Amino acid sequence: MQTTLMRFLLLSLLLLPLGMAMSADRAEGVKPNFVVIFIDDMGYGDIEPFGSKLNKTPNLNRMAKEGRRMTSFYVASPVCTPSRAALMTGCYPQRVGLQRGSGHIVLFPGDVHGLHANEITVAETLKAAGYATGCFGKWHLGDQPQFLPTEQGFDTYFGIPYSNDMWPGLKRWQFPDLPVMKNTKVVDLVKDMDAQATLCRRFTERAASFIREHRDEPFFVYLPHAFVHGPRRASPKFMAKAKTVEQAQVEEVDWSVGEILKTIREVGVAENTLVLFTSDNGPAGGLSAGPLRGRKGSGFEGGHREPTVVWWPGTIPAGSECHEMATAMDLFPTFAKLAGTKAPSDRVIDGKDIAPLLLGKPDAKTPHDRFFYQQGGKLRAVRSGPWKLFATGELYNLDADLGETTNIAAKHPDFVAKLQKMLSDFRADIANNSRPVGVAKNPRTIVPRPGVTGDEGFLPTLSLPRPKK
């Protein structure tokens, strides 16, 4: 009894300063659940809460009405692998050696590189704190055995190990078939576009089942969808009513959000579950950055600033919005603190606690005085307050010029000098405080290339010559 009382008091002390008013009947010993829905290649202007006039997103509309829009939420890179590495580790991708793949901007099938085993992920930290952890969707942090989700803190994994375009249908490379995995085993192959169309539904159903199974214990669900990355096809009912395949996929993603939130409500854990929806980088072709300049792969706002909605009924103020700067790297330390634990202190973690921002604490301000943008695996720009300076010298005031249309560097040499020093300091910091990328011995693809027998069929994609056009 005494131990239980101490746990209650400790939890109360941790949570109440954050403005987190938990009712007495559920406070004792209860840790909040976390769900991160991570879309692939969706732009800032692709959903109705962020201005889309094309795509109908009623579930995200409801999520925003019941929750909070984050209008200045960033990912750490404008492409897949480094963005996901930052989310999982709370670090800029250069910090963990995954600013790019071994021979390409992202990791490829059979890549020698991946997330190092010594890195501590948000999943590992939450698992150590008593959470059930599940990953359902696109991983893309290494496909060798030591890099897979079940070796990085997830109890359960169901999904594809890298991008859905890394399959024989993309003729620019000699790709193997696209495997669907359950934990460490291949359970299916994505052979055609009809199979591609099932990925959103399959990942959603697995995530919903996991929530139902673990309703009576704290859980962390990471749902990194393959949608809306190409090649694109959605389920028939969405394809039938949409004007474009991009619209169909966005609207099926919205359906997925609705299914997850409905499941959370049905199992009775809505008032103890934080759900965050965002994207891994800016829009690919056919999708929209809204008012932002730039797209996927770009150092402009359109490459890094993502449409983000956070929901926690009874805790996050309904219908609210936050314009303060926050990042996907912040989720690790924030979730850890809300769970009553903390991110590792034996290494540099770039993310910071943004619970006051997420939870709508009055007058909460960003904990970041700077944010660094990437492009092509290299440092591209820095933002501090409204000021954004590119490494090439262009300066923009994002409050006055969100679309980054007018270079005002000549008018503000003081801000140019200040931000140039931030860029220099960051380069020096990374040089002195970065950690090694994971390296696999004798890497091979998970499944063979079609029609190729023996060991040759499992050769890493990047070790093979590019097909001649």
Per-residue pLDDT of 62-121, as tens digits, reads 999 999 999 999 999 999 999 999 999 999 999 999 999 999 999 999 999 999 999 999
pLDDT band at 38 (very low <50, low <70, confident <90, very high): very high
Identify the CA nearest to 235 among candidates 188, 189, 198: 198
Reading the block at residue 60, the tokens are 């995200």
Tell me what pLDDT residue 2 has. Answer: 39
For the chain, domains (ranges, CATH) are 30-358 (3.40.720.10)
pLDDT at 191 over 70: yes
Per-residue pLDDT of 322-377, as tens digits, reads 999 999 999 999 999 999 999 999 999 999 999 999 999 999 999 999 999 999 99
Mean pLDDT confidence for 180-200: 98
pLDDT band at 4 (very low <50, low <70, confident <90, very high): very low
Q: Is the pTM of this model over 0.75?
A: yes
- The span from the first CA to the last CA of the chain, in angstroms, equals 73
CA distances, 75 to each of 213, 330, 371, 423, 457 (Å): 31, 10, 10, 18, 36
Active site residue 80: yes
* Strand residue runs (E) in 298-354: 305-311, 320-322, 326-327
Identify the CA nearest to 77 among candidates 60, 61, 50, 95: 95
pLDDT band at 14 (very low <50, low <70, confident <90, very high): very low
pLDDT at 9 over 80: no
pLDDT at 458 over 90: yes
pLDDT band at 29 (very low <50, low <70, confident <90, very high): low
Per-residue pLDDT of 104-123, as tens digits, reads 999 999 999 999 999 999 99
| β-strand pairing of 178-182 with 185-190 | antiparallel
**Are the C-beta atoms of 85 and 279 separated by less than 8 Å?**
no
Active site residue 91: no
Per-residue pLDDT of 237-265, as tens digits, reads 999 999 999 999 999 999 999 999 999 99
Reading the block at residue 134, the tokens are 């599940």
Per-residue pLDDT of 148-171, as tens digits, reads 999 999 999 999 999 999 999 999
Tell me what pLDDT residue 122 has. Answer: 98
Tell me what pLDDT residue 30 has. Answer: 79
pLDDT at 11 over 50: no
Mean pLDDT confidence for 388-412: 98
Determine which one of 80, 135, 200, 322 is catalytic: 80
Tell me what pLDDT residue 382 has. Answer: 98
Tell me what pLDDT residue 468 has. Answer: 83
3-state secondary structure of 379: strand
Taking the C-alpha atoms of residue 176 and residue 165, their distance in angstroms, rounded to an integer, is: 11
* Strand residue runs (E) in 150-304: 156-160, 178-182, 185-190, 219-224, 273-279
Average the pLDDT over each of 25-34, 129-138, 288-297, 376-385 and give the range with the smallest value: 25-34
pLDDT at 5 over 50: no
Determine which one of 91, 113, 135, 140 is catalytic: 140
DSSP per position, 231-262: S----HHHHHH-SSHHHHHHHHHHHHHHHHHH
